[in-house]
Structure 1
Amino acid sequence: MEAQMRIILFLMVIISSATEEVKNLTSTEGGSITLPDPVKEKGYLSFKRTTIAAVNKGEVEIEVDIYINRLHWDKNTGLFTITGLQRSDSGIYIVDSKKGRIFTKSYKLTVYESVSTPAVKRLSVSAESCILLCSVEKAEETTLLWYKDEEILNQSSSALSLLLTVHKQDFSSSYRCVAANPAEKKTLPVNITTSCNEQNDTDNSDDTNTRYYFVTGIIISIVFAVFVVLIAIIAKKKCLNKTKTTIRQTQDLVNTDTDVYYTVCKYLVTDAFRTSEPHKKMILRSQR
């Protein structure tokens, strides 16, 4: 009889474990998650059937290296927190408390890509309506929604953009574009009166013209500056060439004058020697 009771109890534990509810948790890349059930005295935290942390006598030991700086245990609350989440952190986590409040809890964590902030621009406007476009840079697992007050007017899953037509009689209502996934959402309120004001076309045109003239002025200034620099370089080069030519001519002239001076001096010296007294005596002596 006792053996039968043990078998029945064992089967009940197995059935209880098999039917245990798994809590779903969500977060985004780079974010954090705190598992809601505490281990205060003794217990374990495991991920995909691998123990990653153990608590014993008020101390925690991280057993997997990649969690050393990312897994934190609060001694006061007994809660585990994982920071710096990546997509690879998605999976089943089990908190197993062995002392005090004894329990085993399972959590399915899904880490999503962070939601992009939506942007809204006007495509067209007429006397009766205005067409707006809400868009995001990336749309993986992201849903775009247009709200009018608290009513969803339009939505699309995993799309980069979503159109909305606002009729003139609804301009006074409140509108917003929302980008969301199961982990987070980002909202952009839209002022219809401002966004759908036809005057903005003129303003935009003026802004475009102003930017055009500004850019054109800069380009002309740059071209003019380059032109002036080129002229200065050419003028300097010509001046240097002219200076070199003048120096060369001067040197040639100096060399010519030196040769002439040397020839004249030689002639004068020779002539003076011939007319000197010693020279005459040498001539007379030779004649005898």
Structure 2
Amino acid sequence: MRFSLTEEVKKNLSGSVGGNITLPDPLLEKGFLSYGRTIIAEVNKGEPEILEEIYMNKLHWDRNTGLFTLTDLQRNDSGIYTIDSKKGKVFTTSYKLTVYDSVAPPAVKKVTVSSEICSLLCSVDKETTLLWFKDEEILNQSSSALSLPLTVQQQDFSSSYRCVAANPAENKTVTVNVKAICGGNDTNSSDYPAQRNYIILFVIFFLTAALAIIIIIIIVIKRKHPVKNKWKLLRAGSVDAVLLYTDTRDSRQGGILPAVSGTSDRSSLTTVSYKLVDHHMITDPADDVWQQSADLTTDTD
């Protein structure tokens, strides 16, 4: 007579929509898998048979391990699954499977920042469990929420923080660099526009000062190094007078240079004398030309 031990154990399992779940106890030789009161699969002499059509493509049995796996989970797959082993290791085990919506990665944004604190907000699209961690320590949590705030002191900006969105089936984590998000500064966020205006005014002042210095340098250079041999052409009535001056400090080098202007047939000929003077004697040749005037002689045939 063969002695067998029958044991019934209920275990909680969880899965996410679109994911997979493997029932942890093997059925190797002979037995049944039930969903509620309905037998959905049978194993006989090491060969599986799927008895319910809706499980044809989503329930799989591993010949080597004897384990059943449900794939492409949906919310309506939640329920009680029972393995009833009839040969070999005889047992009956039930599992309560709960399928949850997949968890989306949380998003973290800065709310406010000052010289002493930085306020952060972790948020998700669907209500789920949210947790704030500093290293491995839980700082704040909510079992069912769309967002969860956290206030970080300035002296803790360099610590490691993470926000976790979780359900019993899975979790998604985002690591937060507080120093990068909050700027690592000691200035209230409301002061940022004023700081920007100060910077703009400083740049404008600097450029204006630089331009003024360049203009002054150009003027000084021109005064120290005047252009030599300048000609100034002045017009007085119908007579043209040309003043030639040189870059010499010896006024004795001045002289009279003759020049002639008029028509090609000499019917109206004007003789103009030019006086060569030292330009250092003249503040403005245009203003003093008549005081340093040339001798003008007009001959008309």
TM range (shorter): 0.5 to 0.7
Q: Across the two proteins, how many residue pairs are aligned to each other?
A: 187
Counterpart position of 1:42: 30
Counterpart position of 2:149: 163
Give 1 or 2 for the bigger CA radius of gyration.
Answer: 2
Counterpart position of 2:253: none
Kindly indicate whether residue 174 of structure 2 is the aligned counterpart of residue 188 of structure 1.
yes
Using the TM superposition, give the Cα deviation of residue 169 of structure 1 relative to its aligned residue in structure 2, in angstroms. 1.0
Counterpart position of 1:71: 59
Kindly indicate whether residue 171 of structure 2 is the aligned counterpart of residue 176 of structure 1.
no
Question: Which amino acid is the alignment partner of residue 87 of structure 2?
Answer: K
Higher helix proportion: 1
Question: Which amino acid is the alignment partner of residue 118 of structure 2?
Answer: C
Kindly indicate whether residue 164 of structure 2 is the aligned counterpart of residue 146 of structure 1.
no
For the structure 1 residues 54 and 196, does the alpha-carbon distance in structure 2 shift closer, same or farther, using more than 3 Å as the test? same
Task: Provide, for residues 212-239 of structure 1, a one-character-per-residue CA deviation record: whole Å limited to 9, x for no partner.
Answer: xxxxxxxxxxxxxxxxxxxxxxxxxxxx
- Describe how 1:200-239 pairs up with structure 2 within 5 A: none
Report the 3-state secondary structure (helix = DSSP H, G, I; strand = E; otherwise coil) of the residue aligned with 1:195: helix
Task: Provide, for residues 224-268 of structure 1, a one-character-per-residue CA deviation record: whole Å limited to 9, x for no partner.
Answer: xxxxxxxxxxxxxxxxxxxxxxxxxxxxxxxxxxxxxxxxxxxxx
Counterpart position of 2:206: none
Counterpart position of 1:28: 16
Give the distance between the partners of 1:133 and 1:121, measured in 2 at CA: 6
Question: Which amino acid is the alignment partner of residue 175 of structure 1?
Answer: Y
Report the 3-state secondary structure (helix = DSSP H, G, I; strand = E; otherwise coil) of the residue aligned with 1:66: helix
Report the 3-state secondary structure (helix = DSSP H, G, I; strand = E; otherwise coil) of the residue aligned with 2:126: coil
Give the distance between the partners of 2:46 and 2:143, measured in 1 at CA: 47
Question: Which amino acid is the alignment partner of residue 15 of structure 2?
Answer: S
Counterpart position of 2:230: none
Question: Which amino acid is the alignment partner of residue 159 of structure 1?
Answer: A
Identity of aligned residues (%): 67
Q: 1:105 aligns with which of 93, 103, 119?
A: 93
Give the distance between the partners of 2:10 and 2:88, measured in 1 at CA: 22
Question: Which amino acid is the alignment partner of residue 22 of structure 2?
Answer: T
Contact 2:106–2:172 under 8 Å retained in 1? yes
Using the TM superposition, give the Cα deviation of residue 198 of structure 1 relative to its aligned residue in structure 2, in angstroms. 6.3
**Unmatched tracts of structure 2, length 5 or more:** 197-301
Give the distance between the partners of 2:55 and 2:105, measured in 1 at CA: 30
Question: Which amino acid is the alignment partner of residue 77 of structure 1?
Answer: T
Give the distance between the partners of 2:91 and 2:184, measured in 1 at CA: 64
Task: Provide, for residues 77-104 of structure 1, a one-character-per-residue CA deviation record: whole Å limited to 9, x for no partner.
Answer: 1110000111111111110111111111
Higher strand proportion: 2
For the structure 1 residues 21 and 99, does the alpha-carbon distance in structure 2 shift closer, same or farther, using more than 3 Å as the test? closer
For the structure 1 residues 38 and 198, does the alpha-carbon distance in structure 2 shift closer, same or farther, using more than 3 Å as the test? closer
Root-mean-square deviation (CA, aligned residues, Å) is 2.2
**Unmatched tracts of structure 1, length 5 or more:** 1-12, 207-288
Give the distance between the partners of 1:46 and 1:23, measured in 2 at CA: 15
Question: Which amino acid is the alignment partner of residue 170 of structure 1?
Answer: D
Question: Which amino acid is the alignment partner of residue 133 of structure 1?
Answer: L
Q: 1:137 aligns with which of 125, 131, 139?
A: 125
Give the distance between the partners of 2:9 and 2:55, measured in 1 at CA: 26
Question: Which amino acid is the alignment partner of residue 107 of structure 1?
Answer: Y
Q: TM-score, normalised by structure 1?
A: 0.61
Counterpart position of 1:220: none
Counterpart position of 1:237: none
Question: Which amino acid is the alignment partner of residue 56 of structure 1?
Answer: N
Give the distance between the partners of 1:180 and 1:70, measured in 2 at CA: 25
Question: Which amino acid is the alignment partner of residue 93 of structure 2?
Answer: K
Using the TM superposition, give the Cα deviation of residue 30 of structure 1 relative to its aligned residue in structure 2, in angstroms. 0.7
Kindly indicate whether residue 110 of structure 2 is the aligned counterpart of residue 96 of structure 1.
no
Task: Provide, for residues 15-46 of structure 1, a one-character-per-residue CA deviation record: whole Å limited to 9, x for no partner.
Answer: x87xx431111111111111111111111100
Counterpart position of 1:54: 42
Q: TM-score, normalised by structure 2?
A: 0.59
